[in-house]
Chain A
Amino acid sequence: MKRLLLGTTAVSLLTLSSLAHATTIELQRFFGACDAEYGKMTDVSAAVGECGIITTLVNKFEADNPDIDVKVTTVEWPGYDQLNAQLASRSAPDVVSIHYSAMSDYQSRGLLVPLDKLLKDQGIKTTDFTDAAISSVTKEDKIYALPFDNWTMLFHVNNNLMKQAGLMQADGRPLLPTSRDEFFAQGKQFQEATGKPYLIQVLANETSTYARFFYTLMMQQDSKFFDDPSHIDLSGEDAKAALTLMKDITSKGFSAKDLDYPAAVSAFANGDGGIAVNGTWLIGSYDAQSKEANNVLSDGYRVFPSPQFFPQKNATYADGHGWVVPRGDRSNEKMAAIGKLFKFFYDNNYQWARTGHLPTVKKVIASDAFTSLPHRSDIAEIAQTGQALPGEVLRQFAIQDILGEELGSAVNGNKSIDEALETAQYRINDLLENI
């Protein structure tokens, strides 16, 4: 009994002593919650999807670094309300997932810690990253985030339905439009043959999809709508042409209506339409589904960049995710632990790229492992055609909400095109003028 007591006490003291030395990193992220499936998994290569891979990555990091404890808080996408409240009350976490498009808001107010030294200490060089990624996280010659990926909206295609519609080419690729007219002709052919909508879009309870598609259409017209980062110009014919196209797609019946985000994701997975307009992050999940037997996507899934609707420029709106360190007092020990975590993320950029996102590390993009992943060659051009809003444009998420709401009003017939564009311009400029 005495031995048992002594033994238990010794084990307890050892455990307490190891806990006392463990450095805790408070990590806050979006990408969803999936603890039931991946909460204890450390085999990153077996994980699928954004949530599965990031959860497993953190588990693996903790297993490899027993002296570091990563305490994860999962927030509702995009999580900036919570981050704002934490920053305002000076209780921000140590590491936070962020969109490149949101970074300027925080960096311009001195709310982010520059990471040049932290990355250098880990042997990570700026030249290791793609130009698109490193330029997105560099502000005033300093790096403010570990670039994790680049993403864009894509056309996820159900080849089984395209085949039924006679829209497959001899090489096994679906026939996709290369112009506005071709889009409507092929859409008509698809719907007559299958009785299903050509496009599945997120049109309900969501503003970002409207805005992102609109940005792409504006960029394809080489529009300078944010020539001055403090003012948006939606008064030109380019804006009208872009919104008219968006409205025609819906009003002429080429798109499923009334679907919110989860409903749209599952509608495509259930074979309720030909092409899902959604992000790179779904490639891994849809591809995994296509490898299963007896479902609507079995051996019938491909994915491509948004078609070029306007002849001026081959472009598509792109953004990305990075990891930032909010301002706050942290010990050298904690900063070193964060550095280790960032190095781990950097080393595992390929694993994250399996979600469908484009990697940010040059050697990963060039690696056989990445290029041999399914569908990557089909979307490779995004590296050249992906385009972001100017980094100096502040409040890009708020702008996206306003713009998306007004565009949605026009697309769904609640406002005229002119009225929607005029109101969007007024509201966005009012916002920017009062920052």
Chain B
Amino acid sequence: MAESYRRSRWTNGLFVVPYLSVFVTLLVFPLAWGIWLSLNKVDLFGGERFIGLKNYARVLSDPVFGQAVKNTVIFVGVSVPTLVVLGLFLALALNKTTKGSSFLRGLFFASSILSVTIVTLIWRIVFIPSDGLIALIFEFFGWQPIGFLSTKGWALFSVGVATVWWCIGLPMMLFLAALQQIPKDLYEAAALDNASRWRVLTRITLPSIKSTIMLVAVIQVVMQFQLFGQAQLMTNGGPAGSSRPIVMYIYEVGFLRWDIGMGAAASQVLFLIILCAAMLQYWISTRKEEVDA
């Protein structure tokens, strides 16, 4: 300890300077500036005036923001477990070294590389009444068409379906990578013990990739709380604001209304919500670990 301390020099810190400068410029400074803006009456083109917490009061008393928070929480609450479970299911199903599974891995991952514009165009073709794929199927069976993108309740669901289709590739690949790290001898021992597939899954596989499940869940919580492009392009937040997420609210206030101060305040609230959600998830997982221990 003493030796290593003696050998350390302040010039060694230069190694972290490139990373630190990027981190400070792109993350710390914008975060601090965002907090400062949220305390000011300011629009896109200046006119900065310190007003304390008034922007926060306006945001928190705005029913449109309340609705956006509710929409986003519901969206995250449904899409994240779906992405984790479906991603895990696909990874388990494709954790083989056959040509077919390699092709299917590529196929499921392919959607992830598309831009949000392409994704929403594809799903518009699926959902839009009269010309859409689902409309044609409904027509074939003689069922009444559903306005998936324009009906309260269905709009957020439709955005969710497009999102899961778009985002499923990353969780699947992370789970695949984790599954391939599990030592084979564990499975061999289970086979010798004639363990059932369910028992193997719950006693070997899942405990072995617990940290990856946590990682995927936290990544997805952070990502899905930032839902924006799909909602804007597929439903424009409607009908009646029923699919407007928080980021879209921030965009509307900041860029359409030019009210940057209020938009920055809403951004800080979103930051706190994501932080709390991620921390809660982390706390739950570590707490369970302690209980297990």
Contact = CB atoms under 8 A, between A and B. Distances in A.
Interface string A393-435: 0010110010001001100101100000001000100110011
B128 A427 contact: no
Contact of B131 (A87, A88, A263): A263
Contact of B240 (A80, A256, A263, A412): A412
B150 interface: yes
Interface string B126-152: 001111000000000000010101111
Interface in A28-85: 80-81, 84-85
A87 B45 contact: yes
Nearest to A431: B257
Most chain B CB inside 10 Å of its own CB: which residue of A80, A259, A427: A259
B242 A397 contact: no
A108 to B, nearest CB: 10
A434 B259 contact: yes
Interface stretch (A2-10, A203-211, A375-383): A203-211
A128 interface: no
Contacts of A182: none
A194 to B, nearest CB: 16
Nearest to A413: B152
B149 A405 contact: no
Given A111-B45, A260-B128, A414 B256 contact: no
Interface string B251-262: 010011111001
Interface in B28-77: 41, 43-45, 58, 63-64
B150 A204 contact: yes
A100 to B, nearest CB: 18
B45 A109 contact: yes
B236 interface: yes
B229 interface: no
Contacts of B262: 434
A266 B43 CA distance: 39
Nearest to A401: B256
Contacts of B64: 427
Contacts of B130: 256, 259, 263, 267, 272
B257 A257 contact: no
A223 to B, nearest CB: 24
A131 interface: no
A347 interface: no
Given A401-B256, A415-B240, A257 B150 contact: yes
Contacts of B119: none
Most chain A CB inside 10 Å of its own CB: which residue of B41, B44, B145: B44
A405 B124 CA distance: 20
B235 A205 contact: yes
Contacts of B252: 398, 401
B45 A257 contact: no
Contacts of A204: 147, 149-150, 235, 238-239
A408 B45 contact: no
B176 interface: no
A412 B257 CA distance: 25
Given A414-B239, A434-B259, 11 more contacts: A204-B239, A206-B236, A258-B147, A258-B151, A260-B128, A267-B130, A405-B238, A405-B240, A408-B240, A409-B240, A415-B240
Interface of B: 41, 43-45, 58, 63-64, 124, 128-131, 145, 147, 149-152, 234-242, 252, 255-259, 262
Interface of A: 80-81, 84-85, 87-88, 105, 109, 111, 203-207, 256-260, 263, 266-267, 272, 395, 397-398, 401, 405, 408-409, 412, 414-415, 423, 427, 430-431, 434-435
14 contacts: A87-B44, A204-B150, A204-B235, A204-B239, A206-B236, A207-B238, A257-B150, A260-B124, A263-B130, A398-B252, A409-B239, A409-B240, A423-B63, A431-B259
